Amino acid sequence: MTRLDVLVIGAGFSGLYMLHRLRESGHRVLAVEAESDLGGTWQVNRYPGARCDIESIEYSYSFSEQIQQDWVWTETMAAQPEILAYLNFVADRLDLRRDIVCNTRVVEMRFDPGAAAWQVGTDTGQRFTASFVVAASGILSVPLQPDIAGADSFAGVSLQTSRWPAEGVDLTGKRVGVIGTGSTGVQLIPVVARQAAQLTVFQRSAAFTLPWEVRPIDAAELAELKADYPGIRAAQRAHPVGAARLSAFSLLLDMLAKPPIATASREDRLRAIDERGILGALDWGDVFFDIEANRQATELYGEAIARIVADPDTAAALVPSHPFGCKRPIIDQGYYQSFNRANVTLVDLRRGPITTAIPTGIRTEQGDFELDVIIYATGFDAMTGALSRIEVVGTDGRTLGQVWREDGPGGYLGLMVAGFPNLFIIQAPGSPSAATNFIAAMEQHVEWIGDCLDHLRAAGYRRIEARAEAQRDWIEHTAALVEPTVLAHPDCNSWYNGANVPGKKRRYLAYAGGIPEYRRRCDEVAAAGYTAFDLE
């Protein structure tokens, strides 16, 4: 049994910074990581085309001037290998590896009220007693394997994008099927189209994508950016989504200030797509709040797709039927152009779903498709998935998974859950997380939790717990923020509200008030002596 002040679950972006922050202030802390190496999301999502959709200058740690000066980004939005290399660089710089235990999955945690500590069990048999636990287990770390009958009977190779083999996969000459057209599918499809002999895309929901150019950063530009880091970080900190430079999120936010589509003439609308292509179709101030405006923008979006995709049936099938803005905006590089290739076929599952996998491929109501490889890009049990798969037993005997299943996903400030004392969760339901640049949001969490743990130690408190009524108020407040937007529309089904997981209670999972306002609220709570937390 290893005794710790704090156990950190996970050694991805959040876990690494949490480990560093707590070690710096003298806590006895270890990070436990289920995978064979650190990196979290960027360790396991090795699929072809994987890259970030926020500029690396902002999708990176801001806490160390030395690290941001020494690391060299080579592209505006980094690809997976570069981000993983960056995390390894940070871990080496800060000498974090000596306090990370890899190949070890936390499987159970029980709170011992007498000792005011968590008893933690792992799949290797190693046990820990930790006064506090910080779950940095990721918001998109549990892949969803769709419930397709006969999946095991497929005689070819089945691959999951977020568990891509480290040694890579050669798709040359293969007949490949991709299931899923979310952010992952949209990144993957153009790359696979160039490799495979034949690519069949199985699309259940068409995606809204924002075309984007990723370009190299040369030494002179990087030097300029580095010289301007104080300004870049200050702008980022003040920005609601934690990314002030161009990103899918900031584009969405900028749209709010644009003229409404409802009053735009036909000429205005056509000019928008003449000048800016599919981006011009969506860039209107009323699409977020007015479902009819949203429908009109989608119609225009369809016209813009039809200008790119040569086959009219394929172009029509690529037009989404859900409101724009209610799934995460997707940045794409050549997605629609891929469908002009002779080796790419789109199967619109709205015309007849997948019925079963068969040894030779996929059977749909529209017919059979012969495949050598099936790639599942089918998403994640987001936000609550990782902790629900650990038996985390709280003070009333229920597991956290059970609480979230029965009461709905929630937490006070998106940081702690009532009934689970001394357990901090980085990016729990109700945190800015999914609605922002995850890294900017995560740094705020790590710093707030670090300050809180320092305070508890200094003041001699052994236990902290969120009050149930404060949690209820927070959940109501976060729901009210999205109520006037298309996010609350019944046709909005995505991982943002749990609709992608059968049986998950539907609730918008992020805090949409922006990081600066969220930070202000969290700081206010701390300054007032941790309002609405019980301290003992």
Residues in contact with ligand NAP by the rule CB under 6 A = 52-53, 140, 146, 148, 179-185, 187, 202, 204-205, 328, 331, 349, 354, 377-380, 495, 500
User: Is the Cβ of residue 183 or residue 422 nearer to ligand NAP in the bound state?
Assistant: 183
Residue placing its CB nearer to ligand NAP in the complex, 182 or 394: 182
Q: Which is nearer to ligand NAP, 183 or 200 (CB)?
A: 183
Q: Which is nearer to ligand NAP, 382 or 470 (CB)?
A: 382
Cα distance between residue 107 and residue 31, in whole Å: 14
* CB 206 to ligand NAP: min, Å: 9
CB of 77 to ligand NAP, least distance (A): 8
Return the percent helix, strand and coil in the chain, to nearest 5.
40, 20, 45
Question: Phi and psi for 96 in degrees, rounded to 5?
Answer: -85, -25
Is 430 in a helix, a strand, or coil? coil
| In the complex, residue closest to ligand NAP by CB | 182
Shortest separation between residue 357's beta carbon and ligand NAP, angstroms = 11
Q: Terminal CA-to-CA distance of the chain, rounded, Å?
A: 25
Question: Is the Cβ of residue 179 or residue 192 nearer to ligand NAP in the bound state?
Answer: 179
For ligand NAP, the closer CB: 377 or 466: 377
Minimal distance, residue 240 CB to ligand NAP, in Å: 17
The residue (of 202 and 336) whose beta carbon lies closer to ligand NAP is 202
With b meaning 16 or more CB within 10 Å and e meaning fewer, what string describes 50-79? bbbbbbbbbbbbbebeebbeebebeebbbb
54 and 247 Cβ atoms separated by less than 8 Å: yes
Nearest to 261 by CA among 314, 303, 212, 313: 303
Instruction: State the minimum distance, in angstroms, from the CB of residue 136 to ligand NAP.
Output: 17
Smallest gap from Cβ 62 to ligand NAP, in A, equals 19
At its nearest, how many Å lie between ligand NAP and the CB of residue 5?
Answer: 32
Q: Where are the alpha helices (DSSP H) in 25-169?
A: 41-44, 65-70, 80-93
Neighbours of 265 (CB within 10 A): 8
* DSSP single-letter state for residue 380: B
What three-state secondary structure class fits 533? strand
Q: Which residues contact residue 243 at a Cβ distance below 8 angstroms, ignoring those fewer than 6 apart?
A: 54, 55, 58, 59, 236, 249, 250, 436, 437, 440
DSSP state letter for 259: P
Nearer to ligand NAP, 23 or 445 (CB): 445
Residue 154: CB minimum distance to ligand NAP, A: 14
All residues at 6 or more sequence positions from 229 whose CB lies less than 8 Å from its CB, including other chains: 65, 68, 69
Stated as kind and residue range, the H or E segment containing 13 is helix 13-24
Phi first, then psi, for residue 376 (nearest 5°) are -90, 115
CA-to-CA dists, residue 60 to 28, 485, 494, angstroms:
26, 30, 26
| Cα 20 from Cα 119, distance rounded (Å) | 23
Nearer to ligand NAP by Cβ, of 52 and 243: the residue is 52
- Residue 377: CB minimum distance to ligand NAP, A: 6
Least separation in angstroms between CB 383 and ligand NAP: 11
Minimal distance, residue 20 CB to ligand NAP, in Å:
24
| Angle CA 391–393–399, to nearest 5 | 70
Tell me whether residue 94 or residue 492 sits nearer to ligand NAP (CB atom). 492
Between 50 and 525, name the residue whose CB sits nearer to ligand NAP.
50
Tell me if residue 307 falls in helix, strand or coil.
Answer: helix
